[in-house]
Structure 1
Amino acid sequence: MKVKDAMSKRIMFVGKDATAAQAMRIMAENNMRRLMVEVDKAGEIYGAVTVRDMIAKVIAPGLDPTAVRVADIMNVKLVAASPEDSLQDAAKVMEEKNVAGMPVFEGTKLVGVIAMWDILIALGVHGKAS
């Protein structure tokens, strides 16, 4: 099975100048764990911000989410997948890079997001008793 078979095509964006509080609100209202960050008017993807970033970089250190900008906490060195990658290869990369999800690019075009959860569901692992 390939990444394109399991990835989510539902992608949410936030601006780099938004506050962490605004990004958290978008995530909460849309049941998302990661947002892609646009850097310019051309819509170029610059990075991503995740729930894990919010917890580790804002909440745990006791910072004010209304004062912290997305640009200060986002990930700019994105680990990405291709729609044609196998789910096993994507899972291996996620494990090696210690990430729970990756944007999926077809060339330079963002076409989706794949998360560990998506892989587990696609492989029929989710919900099975051990």
Structure 2
Amino acid sequence: MKIRELMTSDVESCSPEDSLQQAAQVMADIDVGIVPIVRDGGYLQGCITDRDIVIRAVAKGMDINSTHVEECMTSGVISCSPEQTAQEAAQLMADHQVRRLPVVEEGRLIGIVAIGDLAVQGASDEAAGFALSEISESTHSGIH
């Protein structure tokens, strides 16, 4: 099954110039922990997570109202094409230890696919299970 059939296409995003408070509000409004960051024309520049805001800004005492997203976002994020398969996306997630992939076409954000989309949509329980096990194994390997 192709990612185009699995992805969420109605994706909220922020710009690099938005404040961290604005990004956090978007996350709260739609109950997500990640927001893609796009420039004019919808070109993907990176992503910011709730964890990025806490670790890179709040923990350092930065003002979330005056700090811009670009100061704390992750740039150069791994993304996928809408024409890739669920198995290819699962492999990317496993290889890069991520649970969500922005979906881009010609550099523009057109959607996002999460590890849960691979399983919930019945695309490939095996692919989703593989990706999750690879991510979880690496994440927990140093925890005793």
Q: What's the TM-score bracket when you normalise by the shorter of the two chains?
A: 0.7 to 0.9
Could you list the per-position Cα deviations for residues 75-108 of structure 1 after superposition, in whole angstroms to 9, with x for gaps in the alignment? 1102111112111211111121122211112233
Q: How does 1:3-42 map to 2 (within 5 A)?
A: 3-39=3-39, 41-42=40-41
Task: Assess, with a 3 A threshold, how the Cα gap between structure 1 residues 88 and 61 changes in structure 2: closer, same or farther.
Answer: farther
Q: Determine helix, strand or coil for the equivalent of 2:101.
A: strand
| In structure 2, C-alpha distance between the alignment counterparts of 1:43 and 1:106, rounded to whole Å | 10
Q: Which has the higher contact order (CA 8 A, sep 6+)?
A: 1
Unaligned stretches of 5+ residues in structure 1: none
| In structure 1, C-alpha distance between the alignment counterparts of 2:107 and 2:66, rounded to whole Å | 32
Q: Who is 2:142 aligned against?
A: none
Structure with the larger helix share: 2
Name the % identity: 26
Which amino acid in structure 2 is aligned with residue 118 of structure 1? D
Q: Who is 2:64 aligned against?
A: 65
Which amino acid in structure 1 is aligned with residue 15 of structure 2? G
Could you list the per-position Cα deviations for residues 31-88 of structure 1 after superposition, in whole angstroms to 9, with x for gaps in the alignment? 233222233x444332221223223323444543224320011111021111121112
Q: How many residues align?
A: 125
| In structure 2, C-alpha distance between the alignment counterparts of 1:98 and 1:31, rounded to whole Å | 22
Unaligned stretches of 5+ residues in structure 2: 129-144
Which amino acid in structure 1 is aligned with residue 12 of structure 2? M
Could you list the per-position Cα deviations for residues 6-40 of structure 1 after superposition, in whole angstroms to 9, with x for gaps in the alignment? 1100111212122211110111012233222233x
TM-score (norm 1): 0.80
